[in-house]
Amino acid sequence: TSDIAAMRYDCDGDGIEECWIGSLTEWNVLTGYWVNTYFDGDMNTYDVLTFSFVNEGLSRKKQTKLAHGWHDNLPKEFKYIQSVNRAFYFFDNVIVDGADINLGEWILAYNNGIIVGARQWNGEPIDVPVMGYDGYTATAGYCEVGDIPKFKLYRPGSGELINMSGEFSIWTNNLIWYAGTLEGGNTIPNTFRIGNPYPNPFNPVTTITYDVPLDCELELSIFDLQGRLVEKLIAGEVKAGYYEIQWNARMQASGIYFMRMRTPNTTMIRKLVLMK
């Protein structure tokens, strides 16, 4: 299964859906597709879609999709499992503090704090895949019918995560939802905070969120039960904002560890349990 899609929409406000948006840019020979149609807005009524392909011959080379390999560029801390069950949420505009976002920034989809999809912004309308639970342990916690995913903007240059808002339908498998504009504000936290690691216990990767209310020197480090430094995740000046980072403990032994965040005026500690 592929996590790219396309949909038709009204791009000029005349009531006619004459434009296509999404990462699927062309049909490919010997590739399967699924199609959702609801011309009258009601998924329970019977609609008919008629279209045809012009076949240039099966001997031609298969064309490469525009979005091919995009998942390889996704930062490792935001990797997710490809699920058989999925939906697509389409955005044609992404704005933070009244301005368009930058090329190369990422739209991330979450369900109850678990990342379930992502797409990199290229300046054009995009489709963000949102994975669902398909009965396998690897996708536990992914979207199920009735869930509403949340979206965040990730800025690779600063590491900021910005909460985004918009009109989002409840998740269902194979949903195609045109959400239009995604908006967010680059708000500043009121206090220093370090969230509870998730998952915890973990094996071997856990996610850590932390808030920084002002530009400052900050250190985020991992220690073992004997108080020895295991790894220094962050050390240096950090801009004010909301952040998320992952610790990959694949080279460490099972046991109890402590995560310490040291700021100019406080020190915070969280307990971690690595179970291999």
| 181 vs 164: CA distance, rounded Å | 10
Record the pTM: 0.61
| 227 vs 140: CA distance, rounded Å | 34
Average pLDDT over residues 154-165: 88
Q: Residue 153: is it exposed, middle or buried by C-beta count within 10 angstroms (0-12/13-18/19+)?
A: buried
State the CB neighbour count (10 A cutoff) for residue 173. 15
For the chain, what percent of residues have pLDDT higher than 90?
50
pLDDT given for residue 176 in this prediction: 87
Q: What is the pLDDT of residues 84-123, one digit of tens each?
A: 999 999 998 999 988 899 999 999 999 988 999 999 998 8
Q: Is the pLDDT confidence value at 216 over 80?
A: yes
Average pLDDT over residues 24-47: 58
Q: Is the pLDDT confidence value at 61 over 80?
A: no
Q: Is the pLDDT confidence value at 42 over 70?
A: no
Whether the CB-CB separation of 163 and 184 falls below 8 Å is answered with yes
pLDDT given for residue 10 in this prediction: 60
Q: Is the pLDDT confidence value at 245 over 50?
A: yes
Measured at the CA of 95, the angle between CA 93 and CA 97, to 5 degrees, comes to: 165
Q: What is the pLDDT of residues 13-27, one digit of tens each?
A: 666 665 666 656 566
What is the band of 64 on the pLDDT scale with cuts at 50, 70, 90?
very low
What is the band of 172 on the pLDDT scale with cuts at 50, 70, 90?
very high
Structural domains of the chain sorted by starting position, each given as residue range(s) with its CATH number in brackets? 6-184 (2.60.40.10), 193-274 (2.60.40.1930)
pLDDT given for residue 77 in this prediction: 82
The total number of residues written for the chain in this structure: 276
Residue with tokens 């996704």: 74
What is the band of 66 on the pLDDT scale with cuts at 50, 70, 90?
very low
Average pLDDT, the chain: 82
pLDDT given for residue 110 in this prediction: 95
The DSSP-derived string for the chain is: --S--EEEE-SSSSS---EEEES--S--TT--------TTS-TTS------------TTSPPPPPTTTTGGGGS-GGG-----SSEEEEEEEEEEETTEEPPTT-EEEEEETTEEEEEEE--SS-EEEEEEB--SSGGGTTSB-TT---EEEEEETTTTEEEEEE---PPP-TT-EEEEEEEEE-----SS-EEPPPBSSSBSSEEEEEEEESSSEEEEEEEEETTS-EEEEEEEEEE-SEEEEEEEE-TTSPSEEEEEEEE-SS-EEEEEEEE--
